[in-house]
A and B are shown apart, each in its own frame.
Chain A
Amino acid sequence: MKISPWQGGGRAIGIATAVAVAGLGLTALGAAFDPRRALWAYLVAFTDWVGIAVAALILLMSFHAANARWPVAVRRVLEVIPLSTALFLVLFLPVLLGARELFPWAGPQQLAGEAQRAMEHRKSWLNLPFFTVRAAFYFAVWIGFSHLFHRWSVEQDRSGAPGLSLKAHRLGAGGLPLLALTLTFAAFDWWMSLTPQFYSTIFGVYYFAGSFDAAIAVLIIAAAWGRREGIFGGALTTAHFHSLGKLLLAFTAFWAYIAFSQFLLIWIANIPEEVPWYQVRNRGAWLPVGVFLALFHFVVPFFVLLSRRIKREPEKLQWVAAWILVVHFVDVYWVVMPHLSPAAPHPHFTDLTALLGVGGAAVAFTLWRLRGRSAVPVGDPYLQESLRYDPR
């Protein structure tokens, strides 16, 4: 198969960069007036997008671990998305510098009675130096793994050596536990520790489930866009989109399963350490947000994605995927923001500018890394099988 290196995308990179600069600039402007509010908006945006990048790495490694052949045609895109973790390392700095405004265990404020005692108890884990070391470790794992997979695949473009596939297979299978642990502890650090006395062992899986769903959505949007731009040279077929749509359906259901499992166990056990987390979200103006998530993050996309026709039409499927990204943002907002404003959501313009700013930066970075090489891993020994893929 002959696919020349992709040289286009200048316009798309330009637009994404402009969105990034404008979004992050306006967020910085918002921070000048209300640093605390802007910082919280930034935490939502950051955890939303970095989760997607890491989940894309997990999807890539699962494909390698399973020796999956059908996704080879779309795999280069999936190899490039996790490279953005290097960018997220830089984008993590505001969270680190503003940790005192975000995490109650890092700030000088005193909590009431029992909560303060619980926080003291967790001081050996929840303290800024160790928090920083842990974050450095997560990023080291994510950046290291994503670069290895990308480098091997690019090397294979030139040499076609099948041994590189074997290496990726081994690292993919062997590295998945490390990815699961880093993402779980990142969820504990960046989301769960916002309420230091709350714990839920399923929380890491919850972060993973939403991010994974959104990562598949990003992949679908990228694949549909790339097909329109012609960057895959006709390698992607209806069958590939059908299968990506099936994955989106499966992980929309998986998110609902995890979200509901966590809620049901905490609701039915009704233990004082756990239940306040949901009490805040099941009261007042936060309740409609939760109901919205149940309906529009699960029920509606689930039934829409049951349709075979929609899954086989990239032009339609990409809009479902875009919707998943919207509700994923609402989900992240619903997890993070009640810590700042327990009574009701108080939308702020930085919520939007931070989301677009971080997202624009990630998209620009990813497109820039995709550029200059073939957008399909042309050296992969399984590529021919992927091109013929048509399971119906």
Chain B
Amino acid sequence: MSQGAPLRRTFVLAEFAGPEPLFAAARKVRAAGHTELDAHMPYPVHGADEALGLKRSPVPIIALVGGLAGVVSAYLMAWWMNAVDFRINVAGRPFDALPAFVPIMFELGVLFASLAIFVSAIFLFGLPRVHHPVFELDEFRSASVDKFWLSVRTTPDAVAPLREELERAGASYVGSVEGEP
């Protein structure tokens, strides 16, 4: 079901022996104007986000908005149930009793914040996705064993110079893949 070039994505993949040469190569590639970089490493390495030029994650803001939404909706719920829908006089305490609502507001704030993190993180990770073009390269399997991979998204006509540049940066293997998004 090939629809032509715009829907296809091209990645150049380069294998490195360690994180430092990978970061150095990433900085060079970024200096050359490429912006969509990713690193695939057997374990998390400090400083990768900075070397890849990743923006700060939006998750904290999403969590804050989720938490505040939880607090507000908990108050509205408690207020509607206790002060509007089903008023019960408990030893003369006010119907709209904010102190008594606070534990619920706190709990729902935590719940909404964590759900917001969970759901937004799934989408920010790029899920749901059943397949990614990088897996078409057999050599890429070493990314989960002992090698460090840099992937750069690019256009088909820029593949050749980019491969050359990555080889010069010390990559032990450079390949490119194309695939549906």
Contacts and interface: CB of A to CB of B under 8 A. Distances in A.
Interface of A: 260, 263-264, 267-268, 270, 306, 308, 390, 392
18 contacts: A260-B99, A260-B102, A263-B99, A264-B99, A264-B100, A264-B102, A264-B103, A267-B99, A268-B93, A268-B99, A268-B100, A270-B91, A270-B93, A306-B60, A306-B64, A308-B60, A390-B46, A392-B46
A270 B64 CA distance: 34
Interface residues on B, range: under 10
Interface string B119-159: 00000000000000000000000000000000000000000
A263 B102 CA distance: 12
Given A260-B102, A264-B102, A267-B99, 15 more contacts: A260-B99, A263-B99, A264-B99, A264-B100, A264-B103, A268-B93, A268-B99, A268-B100, A270-B91, A270-B93, A306-B60, A306-B64, A308-B60, A390-B46, A392-B46
Nearest to A267: B99
Contacts of B103: 264
A268 B90 CA distance: 10
A13 to B, nearest CB: 41
Contacts of B100: 264, 268
A233 to B, nearest CB: 24
A174 B93 CA distance: 45
Interface of B: 46, 60, 64, 91, 93, 99-100, 102-103
A306 B93 CA distance: 35
A306 B61 CA distance: 10
A267 B94 CA distance: 12
Contacts of B64: 306
Nearest to A265: B99
Contacts of B60: 306, 308
Contacts of B93: 268, 270
A135 B74 CA distance: 46
A270 B99 CA distance: 13
Question: What are the 4 closest A-B residue pairs judged by CB atoms, nearest first?
Answer: A264-B99, A267-B99, A268-B100, A260-B102
Contacts of A308: 60
Contacts of A390: 46
A306 B99 CA distance: 24
Nearest to A307: B60
Nearest to A261: B103
A251 B91 CA distance: 35
A390 B47 CA distance: 10
A268 B100 CA distance: 8
Contacts of A306: 60, 64
A82 B154 CA distance: 60
Contacts of A268: 93, 99-100
A264 B104 CA distance: 13
Contacts of A392: 46
A264 B97 CA distance: 11
A260 B98 CA distance: 12
B41 to A, nearest CB: 16
A260 B64 CA distance: 21
Contacts of A263: 99
A266 to B, nearest CB: 10
B50 to A, nearest CB: 9
B72 to A, nearest CB: 14
A272 B46 CA distance: 58
B35 to A, nearest CB: 22
A48 B139 CA distance: 65
A392 B99 CA distance: 37
A270 B100 CA distance: 13
B57 to A, nearest CB: 11
B46 to A, nearest CB: 7
Contacts of B91: 270
Nearest to A257: B106
Contacts of A270: 91, 93
A306 B91 CA distance: 39
A270 to B, nearest CB: 7
A263 B100 CA distance: 10
B21 to A, nearest CB: 21
Nearest to B92: A270
A52 B102 CA distance: 29
A392 B103 CA distance: 32
Contacts of A264: 99-100, 102-103
A268 B64 CA distance: 30
A68 B99 CA distance: 37
